[in-house]
Amino acid sequence: MVEEQRTQTPAPGASPGSSGSSRRRFLVAGAAAGLGVAAGARAEELPVPASSLKMGAPIPPESYGMPIEFEAHVKRRRSDVFKNKQNYSDWSMTPLHQQVGIVTPNGLFFERHHNGVAKIDPEQHRLVIHGLVEKPLAFSMSDLMRYPSVSRFHFMECSGNTLTDWREPKAVTVQQSHGLLSCAQWTGVPLSWLLDEAGVKPEGKWVMFEGGDGSGHLRSIPIEKVMDDALLVYGQNGEMLRAEQGYPLRAFFPGWEGNTCVKWLRRIKVVTEPDQIRGETARYTDPMPNGKWRQYSMEMECKSVITNPSGGMSLKGPGLYEVQGFAWSGRGKVTNVDLTFDGGRTWREAALEEPVLDKCLTRFRYRWNWDGSPAKIASRAKDTTGYVQPTVEEIARVREIVGFVQHHNGIFPWSVAQSGEVANAIA
Amino acid sequence: MRSLDLRSSVAALCVTLAVATAAQAADFGKRPEAGFGRPIGEADLKLWDIDIATPSGGNLPAGEGTVAAGKAVYEAKCLACHGENAAGGPVYGTMVGGIGSMTKSPRVLTPGSMYPYAPILFDYVRRAMPMNAPQSLTADEVYAVAAYIYNLNGLVPADFKMNAQTMPKIPMPNRDGFIRDDRPDTRAERCMTDCKPIGTVADASKPAASGTAAAAGGTGNQVIMGDPKSGAAASPAARP
């Protein structure tokens, strides 16, 4: 059953507001031409395209290649839901519905800064490791790049992803509801190697990471995570980090909330207990019943969302649509993704596209024959720990959902109207 | 040579398989024999080592500030964004009030209502404020502006002298307001047919079919230094 659903060729995903989507026009025209040939009918004679009749653009002496102008509408965007009064402690979101494959291009990778984008000369940059270590150490970038490197594919998600959409639909598109999520191949040095080199003292149980930006962003991480799979990252998707991703150096904790992956990293300090600074008490904590706050909740739990079709799109009449989306878990691999088309009464399993990697975006696909009647569609993921993505109702039974609440990994429904309009249906 | 490569490839494959079947832990291989870090002393890091161990006040620097001095610093450096009397301004909401609001809706989050340890304000102001000139205030100025903010929140008297000894001793109303991560806290099941339709947050306020006690479903919005009016309305005197 699942095998039958596996897609061989990409289908045209409807894309919101993309009047300039030449790709969709091309695919629709191609499909029509194909049918015409099969039926032996005539449509219209295709002219020789202009591109076949002249020389193309020459290769410039040197350049950094950019997407063609027809794709200029594919952009990161700031929040449409919140109007921040300044854009230094702010965020921009990835157009997940326009991403193909599991890797987010560097220019579309989401951003969250606490005091703007720092600009750091790598020649001047220094990283220090100190605190409860036998030998405090300093590293230049060229020192760090002498170590053997490792590369890993992992997602990164902001703890605040989807937080505008708990109680009522606020985000129109999946970029606005889920776009604080991206995925990349990260390259750097295992943090455990450097901490072993400095020699962590037995009483060192937490490790503090501090950025060299104007916010001095700082998070404390348990030593077990640091020594397990944490990386000191300088490369992303085949090139050095972009400035907005922390150039020249950031921490990376696979599967943990984005703000732990401190950018512009300048200092690592081994301590016995976390400092409990503002970012670990008054921010990045979760309201709980009885007036309490849950802190150091840094692991991102299993989550999924349908990206095609999604909010703001419009289906062009009944027929075959390939439903696509992403699933991910901060605790391991995704094992299953189920889809519903009737608001959760029945579910059927989607196909997972390889590669299915640890703490990485996993793409799911399902061929859906829409009969043209109103539908409510959603995805539900399960991970290797056996954890199943909950509904927002299930989350709200154990946490306090009052306004600005982080760690929303709830099942996210979209409604499909008879007209084909797709809309946020979280409530 | 060829057979040697093959042997090591097989060995590598076995290692890979062993790791793949293990529960977790990244296989980064052995740490290289050589290290490239250069020795440095804690004394060399005096200007960098600015974090405060906020529960104890460890690493608070020498210096002192009063409420009156803090008012002057505030009005010169902070008021433009945070407003008169720290009650909210053009960019940010209130930094005063909200004490006692953690079990109410909305929860009003200010340094007075939210911080479990008073030195958090020193750590944050010194590293990050003012936003256009972080780390520009002297230790005396940071102590003073902290005295001013905590005085407005009713936590220290008007003649309070803020310093490394007095700051950690200020009793903070939200001292015991935190729990450590205890997730997973949901136990959803993979129902495939005849399932309960996807519920909403509002549905959680209704009694659970399974008999689980429903969490108190707050109805309002939490205020994160966002709404000067809500914050000002909360009485600083209303301490638990």
Q: Give the start-to-end residue ranges of the domains of chain A.
A: 106-294, 303-424
How large a percentage of chain A has pLDDT more than 70?
91
* Nearest alpha-carbon partner for B50 in B161, B129, B124: B124
Asked if A427's CB is within 8 angstroms of B183's CB, the reply is no
Is residue A190 within 8 angstroms of chain B, CB to CB? yes
Contacts of B216 in chain A (CB under 8 A): 289-290, 400
A positions 64-93 inside 8 Å of B (CB): 85-86, 88-89
Is residue A297 within 8 angstroms of chain B, CB to CB? yes
Residue A118 scores a pLDDT above 90: yes
Contact A347, A380 (CB under 8 A): yes
Query: Which structure tokens are listed for A50?
Result: 């202009």
Provide the 3-class DSSP secondary structure of residue A377: strand
Residue A3 scores a pLDDT above 70: no
Nearest to A276 among B105, B120, B131 (CB): B120
Residue A80 to residue A92: CA distance in whole angstroms: 10
Asked if A128's CB is within 8 angstroms of B48's CB, the reply is yes
A positions 7-36 inside 8 Å of B (CB): none
Give the end-to-end CA distance of chain B in Å, rounded to a whole number: 76
Residue in chain B lying closest to A224 (CA): B25
The yes/no answer on whether domain A303-424 falls in CATH 3.40.1190.20 is no
Give the end-to-end CA distance of chain A in Å, rounded to a whole number: 32
The string of pLDDT tens digits covering residues B8-54 is: 444 444 444 444 433 345 789 899 999 999 999 999 999 999 999 99
Point out which residues pair with A111 in neighbouring strands: A92
Nearest to A391 among B42, B194, B198 (CB): B198
SS3 labels along chain B: CHHHHHHHHHHHHHHHHHHHHCCCCCCCCCCCCCCCCEECCHHHHCCCCCCCECCCCECCCCCEEEHHHHHHHHHHHCHHHHCHHHCCCCCCCCCCCCCCCCCCCCCEECHHHHCCCCHHHHHHHHHHCCCCCCCCCCHHHHHHHHHHHHHHCCCCCCCCEEECCCHHHCCCCCCCCEEECCCCCCCCCCCCCCCCCCCCCHHHHCCCCCCCCCCCCCCCCCEECCCHHHHHHCCCCCCC
Contacts of A395 (CB under 8 A, 6+ apart): A401, A408, A409, A410, B186, B204
Question: How high does pLDDT run on average in chain A?
Answer: 92
Point out which residues pair with B162 in neighbouring strands: B65
Is residue A145 within 8 angstroms of chain B, CB to CB? no
* Nearest alpha-carbon partner for A327 in A302, A349, A348: A302
Residue B167 scores a pLDDT above 70: yes
Asked if A266's CB is within 8 angstroms of B222's CB, the reply is no
Residue B72 to residue B78: CA distance in whole angstroms: 10
A positions 368-407 inside 8 Å of B (CB): 376, 378, 380, 382, 387-405
Query: Which structure tokens are listed for A297?
Result: 């909740």
Give the homologous superfamily in CATH for domain B67-175+220-233: Cytochrome c-like domain (1.10.760.10)
Residue B40 to residue A208: CA distance in whole angstroms: 18
- Same topology, domains A106-294 and A303-424? Answer is no
Residue A83's pLDDT band (cuts 50, 70, 90): confident
Contact A386, A378 (CB under 8 A): no
Asked if B120's CB is within 8 angstroms of A282's CB, the reply is yes
Give the homologous superfamily in CATH for domain A106-294: Oxidoreductase, molybdopterin-binding domain (3.90.420.10)
Contacts of A395 in chain B (CB under 8 A): 186, 204
Residue A376 to residue A344: CA distance in whole angstroms: 8
DSSP A176-214: HHH-SEEEEEEEEEEHHHHHHHH-B-TT--EEEEEESST
Point out which residues pair with A382 in neighbouring strands: A336, A388
Residue-level pLDDT at A338: 98
The ipTM value here is 0.89
The string of pLDDT tens digits covering residues B51-92 is: 999 999 999 999 999 999 999 999 999 999 999 999 999 999
Residue B228 to residue B85: CA distance in whole angstroms: 11
Residue in chain A lying closest to B27 (CA): A229
Size of interface A-B (CB pairs under 8 A): 276
- The alpha-carbon gap from A140 to the nearest alpha carbon of chain B, in Å, equals 8
CA B121 remoteness from chain centre:
11
Residue A67 scores a pLDDT above 90: yes
Is residue A271 within 8 angstroms of chain B, CB to CB? yes
* Nearest alpha-carbon partner for A378 in A347, A350, A323, A339: A339
| Residue ranges per structural domain of chain B | 67-175+220-233
Place of tokens 């739990």: A301
Contact B88, B94 (CB under 8 A): yes
Q: What is the mean pLDDT of residues A365-381?
A: 98
Higher-confidence position of B214 and A107: A107
Asked if B178's CB is within 8 angstroms of A389's CB, the reply is no
Query: Which structure tokens are listed for B65?
Result: 């500030």
Asked if A285's CB is within 8 angstroms of B178's CB, the reply is yes
* Nearest alpha-carbon partner for A331 in A412, A401, A388, A400: A388
Is residue A273 within 8 angstroms of chain B, CB to CB? yes
